[in-house]
Structures are given as C-alpha cells and as structure tokens.
C-alpha cells in the first residue's frame, strides 16, 4: 500500500511516499480502515523535524476517516463509515500511522458515522475535536452558563473548542483571534470576540473572570490567562512546543480558591467522537478546512501547516 514514511528527522524532503509499505495485520479487537482522508497536525511536523524522540522509520498521523475494509471486532463490519484518532500521532507509537491507504484502529478508538458525515474531509476532525472536548472538561464539565475563554478561536483546536463549549456545554463563550477571524468566530457561536491586535483580553476581562480557559497557544498568552481565571476555575493548557512545566508549578503555588491547572495531551476516544460527529451530522458543529491536499502533496501540506495561523485544518485526501 501507499504510505508516507519518515526514516530520519529533517525538513519536508524527508517525507517519502512509498508504494510497497505493508498493510497492518489485524489483532483481535482491531479494525482495518481504508483511508478517505487524514490531516496535518503540529505534532506530525514536529516529529518529522526531530522535536520529539520518535522511533523510526515511522508512518505519521493519527487522524482516521474512511471505510472499514476488515474487522476483528464484532462491533464493526466491512463497509461501515468510521472516524478515529489512533496513537499514530504519538512519537512513541510506531505501528499504524494514518498517512497511508490503510490503517488499523482499536475498536474503542472508532466512531461510526452516517452518510451525512463528510469522510472526504473528516480526517480533519478527530485529534483537534477530541483535544477540545477533553480540555473543556479536564477540570470537570462546565456548567450551563459558565464563562469560557477560547484562545485562538479560529485555529484547529480553537474552532472546535468554541463550538463544543457553546453546543455541548451551553457556555457563554468569548474567543480571541486576529482581525480577519472576528466575524467567523461569531458565526461559530462566540458570544463575544477579541481582536488580539487591538485589545488586551487580560485588561478587558480583569473584572469579568472565566470559569474555563482553553489555551492551545501558551507563552505570554498563558501567563495573561492566569490573571483572568475565576475562583474554582480551570486553566486548560493544550500540550505544545511552548509548554513549560515551570509555569504550571509557579501558577499553582500562587493560586487560591480552588483554581486548577490542567495539561491536555489528547487521548483516543471513540465514544466522545460519536458525540462530536453527531453534532456535525445535525449541522450544529462544523469543520473549517483551510486547504485540501493529496497524499502525493504531503510535503506541501506540511509546509502549509507549519506556517501557522491556519484557519481550521489542512486536510489530506487519501482515497477520496
């Protein structure tokens, strides 16, 4: 089968599309999926660059969207439409990446979807939507009406966090973003938006703190976020290259009144994906796709994603 293989860390040129990579051999409880689409996540190009100590050679990617080709799990049969996040995204996992014609998934990682779900772009959904869901409830599920701040509300994780906070948790949502994304974030359901080029959210909301803050950005944004966290609130940090454990320890040492710091490194979860896919099939949540590439264009796809400030996701079509 075709697969994108990384044999050594380096620039995009190390991404090699081969035609003879062995298809996964299923074990009990696993499902073989013929990939329709996948996507590029920051962890993918960070692994390629050597930022994480990955075992190589490695087929990158954990986002799955396609049709069951074979199954050793009674819950799934050939022809089922499915999505999943597998541990293929993780640097320590070498078995089944999703930058390939076929990938394998454990049954508990899979979610069935109907024909209303767009498999051709659905590969953009699993990692970012699960990250958003898990971050939002990392300190306990927000209560209806809770004040939630989403940093980077038009990005991959951010645009799902914004929508899920509104649709699933019934929260009052404030989202930050650039000037070109203010209207978009409002369309996605934000009650208020902040243009970070014109306003300082920490000053604007110093007297209106938040019950939950989801931050996939870090750095200065992280430190400012601490200042607008309500008593009993959760600052939900998304693991990324700016993650600094020292920041967390210093913050927790100063905090009082039950404030919490959580660190989200996404975990596969088919049950949560079924909930998210259901909202998408009902038209209540949507995936933003900035650009689509083919598997043959994987180098260009990663270069595009690496430039940053992506609106939604960069999707890679495999067998569309």
Read off the pLDDT of residues 189-230 as tens digits, 9 standing for 90 and up.
999 999 999 999 999 999 999 999 999 999 999 999 999 999
- 121/134 same-domain check: no
Residues 85 and 149 in one domain: no
Contact (CB, 8 A) for 157 and 92:
no
Please compute the mean of the pLDDT values over residues 79-86 and round it to a whole number: 98
* Residue 173's CATH number: 3.40.50.720
Same domain? For 25 and 86 the reply is: yes
Asked whether residue 23 is domain-assigned, the answer is yes
Q: Are residues 213 and 155 in the same domain?
A: yes
275 in any annotated domain: no
Domain count, the chain: 2
The 10s digit of each residue's pLDDT in 23-41 is 999 999 999 999 999 999 9
Answer yes or no: do 259 and 143 share one domain.
yes
Looking at residues 267-275, what average pLDDT do you find? 98
Query: Do 185 and 257 belong together in one domain?
Result: yes
Residue 274 lies in a domain: no
Can you give the residue range of the structural domain that contains 135? 129-264
Average pLDDT in the 270-299 region?
98
Give tens-digit pLDDT for 53-78.
Answer: 898 999 999 999 999 999 999 999 99
> What is the Cα–Cα distance from 171 to 299, expressed in whole angstroms?
39
pLDDT on residue 103: 98
Q: Are residues 47 and 151 in the same domain?
A: no
273: in domain: no
Q: Please give the mean pLDDT across all residues of the chain.
A: 96
Instruction: Based on the fold, state whether residues 251 and 151 are members of the same structural domain.
Output: yes
Same domain, 39 and 64: yes
Tell me what pLDDT residue 94 has. 86
């Amino acid at each position: 089968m075709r697969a994108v293989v990384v044999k050594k860390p380096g620039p995009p040129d190390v991404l090699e599309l081969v035609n003879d990579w062995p298809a996964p051999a299923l074990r009990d409880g696993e499902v073989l999926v013929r990939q329709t689409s996948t996507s590029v996540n920051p962890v993918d190009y960070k692994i390629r660059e050597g930022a994480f100590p990955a075992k190589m050679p490695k087929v990158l990617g954990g986002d799955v969207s396609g049709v069951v080709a074979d199954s050793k799990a009674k819950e799934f049969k050939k022809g089922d439409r499915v999505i999943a996040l597998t541990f293929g995204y993780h640097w320590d996992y070498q078995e089944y990446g999703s930058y390939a014609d076929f990938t394998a998934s454990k049954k508990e990682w899979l979610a069935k979807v109907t024909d209303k779900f767009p498999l051709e772009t659905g590969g953009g959904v699993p990692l970012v939507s699960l990250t958003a869901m898990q971050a939002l409830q990392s300190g306990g599920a927000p209560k209806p009406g809770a004040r939630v701040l989403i940093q980077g509300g038009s990005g991959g994780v951010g645009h799902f966090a914004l929508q899920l906070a509104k649709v699933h948790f019934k929260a009052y949502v404030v989202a930050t973003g650039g000037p070109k994304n203010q209207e978009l974030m409002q369309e996605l359901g934000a009650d208020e938006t902040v243009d970070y080029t014109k306003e300082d959210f920490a000053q604007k909301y110093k007297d209106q703190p938040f019950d939950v803050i989801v931050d996939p950005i870090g750095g200065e944004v992280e430190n400012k976020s601490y200042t607008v966290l309500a008593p009993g609130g959760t600052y939900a940090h998304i693991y990324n290259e700016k993650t600094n454990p020292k920041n967390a320890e210093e913050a927790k040492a100063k905090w009082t009144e039950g404030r919490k710091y959580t660190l989200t490194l996404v975990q596969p979860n088919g049950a949560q994906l079924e909930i998210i896919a259901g909202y998408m099939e009902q038209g209540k949540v949507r995936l933003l796709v900035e650009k689509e590439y083919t598997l043959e264009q994987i180098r260009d796809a990663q270069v595009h994603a690496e430039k940053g400030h992506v609106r939604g996701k960069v999707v890679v079509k495999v067998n569309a």
